[in-house]
Amino acid sequence: MRKSLMGKKVVVLLLIPALALIFIFLILPGLWVLKIGMTNETLTGAKARNPDFVGFENYAKVLSDRFFYNALRVTLLFVLGSAIVGQAGLGLSLALLTYRKRKLRSFVQSVVILAWIIPEVVVAYLWIAFLDKDYGTLNMLLSVLGLRKVNWFYEYPLPTIITFNIWRGTAYSMLLFSAALETIPPSYLETADVIGVSAWRKFKDIIFPNIKSYTLTDLILITLWTFNVFTPYLLTGGGPSFRTELLSIYIYRTAFRYFKLGYGASIATIALLINFALAMFYLSLSRRKKA
Amino acid sequence: MKDPRRFSRIVSYILLAPILAFFISPIVWLFVTPFSVRPSLFISFDGFTLNNFVRVFQNRTAIIAFRNSLVISVSVVALVTTCALFAAYVFSRHDFRGRNVLLYVLVLFSSVVSGAAAMVPIFVLNLRLGLVNKELGVILTLSGGIMPTALFILKDFFDSIPRTYEEAALVDGSSPMQVMFRIFLPLSSKGIIVIAMLVFAQSWSNFLIPFVLLRSASKYPVSVAIYTFFSEVGVPDIGMISAYSLLYTLPVIFTYVLIERKFGFSFYGGIKG
């Protein structure tokens, strides 16, 4: 161990501001949610000032709450469709299609990254405009082709927000898989080209074994992020009739529209535990990789 | 088949075309509509005008929101960059047990306490601290959330700077603080600039935290203001909203282009979730 450049006092002084902010505005809320979830605190009215401790009463209610099950189901489909199948699949495809094509790849990446970095309120409005029933670009194109105009947000609400989220989030998977492909020694594929191995065999025997470990990292991270996404609220507000009500939107509705902070917190606790499980999974995975 | 790579190139172009169209189509609107004489939801262009931008500048709410966004993100950048800089310096230069684990746990925690799971306790915390409907609440909450990742990336960057200069200065009798400000900071300015820009883009774009914490329209940053513009009842002013959205988006694009030009993509993964 090398000698430190600083004394103990300096170390503590330099650490305090950052750690204090993290503790108060990140760790404390993360723990506090457990307590709030066991009260009947509300945003307004009598229980706003003096909430009662109700123990696990909220959780018992959650277990028979049909909106909770609806939100859970919508969220699972959303994560499965937009993250696991969509973003990972499209991200990998894009990485493969632009593999060993430097200029093409940097162009494709710029476009995909643009969808990723534009602020969420703006992308939401871009999609509202793009999919508008009467004047949206997509429907205009469809009617030029002689097809019927579709009311996307009402007829296919869930597939619509899933597609939106694929569009929004593919960049990360593409960047990760592109980086993973770079780790394959070029000689492997050059040899395969010389022998004349089929594209599928190249993927199965050379590419896939080399990027396998990255795939799991990607899947866990995008699952974690997608699970917590709130942006679809800006597109649909959770509707029509709760068909796009993700867990995040249900928590928002419960806590801030119906003012039931305690009950909202108990649902948030469940979301937090799912996040926690995913994070632990990721942690154990990345430690195994290092060892 | 003469050249398998040429064949694969053609196949990839054919497959890429529709995917690229899918990614580009919704975005085109953002760059066309603000300059269009008759702006509509359809991507159309009937003559160039800057009138839509003029209307943004005549809209008091829009201008106040711009100012609010600036105040919030500049404060978050100042706070996060300074604090993360100090702490990352310690994490990089001071050996103590479990520092890597600690850092890792903090970063993971920031992923766990986010979005859906975080908004209720973050609101209650701000309520108890008297920070609801105050810009300070938004600034501190955003800072706490971004801090672990900023710390993590900065530490990584600092690790790549050799210790020898600092050690030599210490031997020469400089104090640790002098070493930090005179020798270490100039060496690490590149990493600090990247962090500052990423933190700026993140806090500038954030919607959920101000949406949950702020109550009065005069305090809204641009993200929430745009949302109220397009979700308000009545016919939304498409020309104004599109111009406003473009003005709001440009700093973010500019920031990322600058980072990409100067430092490459390697910094992306960590901070943008």
* Substitution target from A5, A79, A120, A250 for chain B, most B beta carbons within 10 A: A5
Instruction: State the Cα–Cα distance between residues B260 and B258, nearest whole angstrom.
Output: 5
Phi, psi of A52 (to 5 degrees): -95, 150
Weakest-pLDDT range from A15-24, A159-168, B108-117: B108-117
Distance of CA A168 to the CA centre of its chain: 10
Structure tokens at A268: 């948030």
In sequence order, what are the beta bridge partners of A39? A53
Q: Is A45 left (phi over 0), alpha (psi -120 to 50) or beta?
A: left
Between B117, B176, B238, which is nearest A268 by CB? B117
Q: Is A33 touching B (CB cutoff 8 A)? A: yes
Most confident listed range (A191-200, B95-104, B119-128): B119-128
**Residue range A118-149, pLDDT digits in tens:** 999 999 999 999 999 988 999 999 999 999 99
**Residue range B174-227, pLDDT digits in tens:** 887 788 888 888 888 888 999 999 999 999 999 999 999 999 999 999 999 999
* pLDDT at A289 > cutoff 70: no
- Assess contact for B80 and B204: CB atoms under 8 A: no
pLDDT at residue A1, rounded to an integer: 42
- Assess contact for B30 and B252: CB atoms under 8 A: no
Interface list for B 2-41 with A (CB within 8 A): 4-5, 8-9, 12, 15-16, 19-20, 22-27, 29-30, 33, 40-41
Phi, psi of B81 (to 5 degrees): -60, -45
Instruction: State the Cα–Cα distance between residues A137 and A130, nearest whole angstrom.
Output: 5
**Nearest by Cα to B87 from A173, A6, A164:** A6
- Please list every residue in chain B whose beta carbon sits closer than 8 Å to the beta carbon of residue A100: 5
Q: Which helix (H) or strand (E) holds A79?
A: none
pLDDT band at residue B267 under the 50/70/90 scheme: very low
Three-class DSSP category at A132: coil
Q: How many beta carbons lie within 10 A of that of residue A160, not counting itself? A: 20
Structure tokens at B162: 């050799």
- Please list every residue in chain A whose beta carbon sits closer than 8 Å to the beta carbon of residue B40: 135
Q: Is B119 touching A (CB cutoff 8 A)? A: yes
Those residues whose C-beta lies under 8 Å from the C-beta of residue A226, and which sit 6 or more positions away, are: A78, A79, A82, A83, A87, A165, A169
Q: Is A138 touching B (CB cutoff 8 A)? A: yes
Residue percentage of chain A with pLDDT more than 90: 67
Query: Omega of the bond prior to A240 within 30 degrees of 0, cis?
Result: yes
Q: Cα-Cα-Cα-Cα dihedral of A137, A138, A143, A144, to 10°? A: 70
Structure tokens at B218: 């005069």
Give the number of residues written for chain A.
Answer: 291
Provide mean pLDDT across the span B241-261: 93
Three-class DSSP category at B48: strand
Q: Can you give the pTM of this predicted structure?
A: 0.92
> ipTM strictly over 0.85?
yes
Higher pLDDT, B205 or B170: B205
**Residue range B42-94, pLDDT digits in tens:** 888 888 999 999 999 999 999 999 999 999 999 999 999 999 999 999 998 88
CA-nearest residue to A198 within chain B is B4
Structure tokens at A252: 């928002």
